[in-house]
Amino acid sequence: MECQYLIQNAEVTHTLKLIQGDITERETDAIVNAANINLVLGSGVAGAIRRKGGKSIQEECNQIGSCEVGGAVITTGGNLNVKHVIHAIGPIYKQYPPKEAELHLSNAIKNSLEILQDNKLSSISFPAISTGVYGFPKHPAADIIISTIIRFLKTSLIQLSVEICLFSSDDYNIFNNKARMILKK
């Protein structure tokens, strides 16, 4: 399942694609890891990246050390199909008042996109950061993730292809319905 939207500004037309699948199979310039502050690749998305990407990604993370909530860092993609993994730190939902958790999630997305551009890359695939072990409710997370991406694309003058890769068909439907609602406003 997949669906593509066009996001335009005065200079360029970007694409926003929603897809159901395993993010470690994507072939964008970069994929995003749902990381933790210690940059230890444990379970969920991070576990899948560790298993398929090999040891080098964790070793690079160890060199970097740590990252704050809402931040992001970049490593190479090891044995994955991608050149780079951007490790974005979403919030553990219950650790913050809702508005603060929302801001951290939004910053994690925005900082990942900034790192993408700083490294002269143009395509990226995001998982539904914070909606697994970190417990962020799916509907507000979909709203924040999609809105943050659209806001970024509206001001970016370099053409970007942004993808959100959802693991389950339920999540794909939640995100796709949200994208349709936001973009028809």
In whole angstroms, the minimum distance from the beta carbon of 56 to ligand ADP comes to 19
Residue number with CB closer to ligand ADP (24 or 28): 24
Question: Shortest Cβ distance from residue 157 to ligand ADP (Å)?
Answer: 30
Tell me the closest approach of the beta carbon of residue 126 to ligand ADP, in angstroms.
Answer: 9
Q: Whole-number minimum distance, CB 31 to ligand ADP, in Å?
A: 9
Q: Can you give the chain as a three-state secondary structure string?
A: CEEEEEEECCCCEEEEEEEECCHHHCCCCEEEEEECCCCCCCCHHHHHHHHHHCHHHHHHHHHHCCCCCCCEEEEECCCCCCCEEEEEECCCHHHCCHHHHHHHHHHHHHHHHHHHHHCCCCEEEECCCCCCCCCCCHHHHHHHHHHHHHHHHHHCCCCCEEEEEECCHHHHHHHHHHHHHHHHC
Q: Residue 39 or residue 156: which is nearer to ligand ADP going by CB?
A: 39
Task: Using CB under 6 A, list all residues that contact ligand ADP.
Answer: 22-24, 34, 44-46, 48, 90, 127-134, 165, 167, 171
Residue among 5 and 167 whose Cβ is closer to ligand ADP:
167
Q: Which is nearer to ligand ADP, 49 or 115 (CB)?
A: 49
